[in-house]
A and B are shown apart, each in its own frame.
Chain A
Amino acid sequence: MIVPIGPVHPGLKEPLRLKLETQGERVVKAEIDYGYVHRGIEKIMEGKTWQKCIYLAERICGICSYEHTQSFAEVLEHMAGVYAPPRAQFLRVITNELDRIQSHYLANSTFFKCLDHELLFMKVLELREYAMDSIELLTGNRVNMGWNVLGGVRMDANEEHFNAILENLKVIEENHDRIVELFSEGSVLALRTKGVGEMTREEALKGRAVGPIGRASGLKHDCREFHPTYRDHLDFSPIWRKEGDNYARVMNRFDEIPQSIDLIKQAIDNMPKGDIRVPVEVNTGYSEWVNEAPRGEVKYMCETNGNLIKHISIRTPSITNIDSCAKYMLTNVPTVADAVATYASCDPCIACAERVQVLNRDTNEKIVKDMF
Chain B
Amino acid sequence: MLDRLKDIVRKTSINVCIVNCGGCNGCDVELVACLSPRYDLEQYGIYLQNNPRDADIILLTGPVTEQWEDKLRRIYAKTPEPKLVLAVGNCPQTGSVFAQEGGRVSAPASNFIPIDGAVSGCPPSPPEIINAILNVAPDAMVAKSHENKKIKDDEDEV
Point out residues on A near B: beta carbons under 8 Å: 7-10, 13-15, 35-41, 43-44, 46, 55-56, 59-63, 65, 106, 109-110, 122, 125-126, 128-129, 132, 142-144, 349-351, 357, 366
Contacts and interface: CB of A to CB of B under 8 A. Distances in A.
Contact of B22 (A39, A61, A128): A39
A162 to B, nearest CB: 23
B32 A13 contact: yes
A14 B28 CA distance: 8
B71 interface: yes
A129 B19 CA distance: 23
Contact of A143 (B30, B50, B98): B30
Contacts of A351: 23-25
A125 B24 contact: no
Interface in B1-47: 17-30, 32-33, 35-38
Contacts of A65: 24, 26
Given A13-B32, A15-B21, A143-B30, A36 B38 contact: no
Contact of B27 (A7, A39, A62, A129): A62
Given A13-B20, A143-B30, 8 more contacts: A8-B17, A8-B50, A13-B32, A15-B68, A36-B21, A59-B122, A122-B35, A126-B38
Sorted from nearest, which 8 A-B pairs have the closest CB atoms?
A62-B26, A125-B36, A43-B102, A40-B104, A62-B25, A59-B24, A143-B26, A62-B24
Contact of B125 (A40, A56, A106, A142): A142
Interface string B38-78: 10000000001111100000000011011110010001000
Nearest to B98: A39
The interface centre, meaning the residue of A14, A55, A122 with most chain B CB atoms within 10 A of its CB, is A14
B158 interface: no
A39 B28 contact: no
A122 B48 CA distance: 14
A132 B126 CA distance: 12
A39 B36 contact: no
B111 interface: no
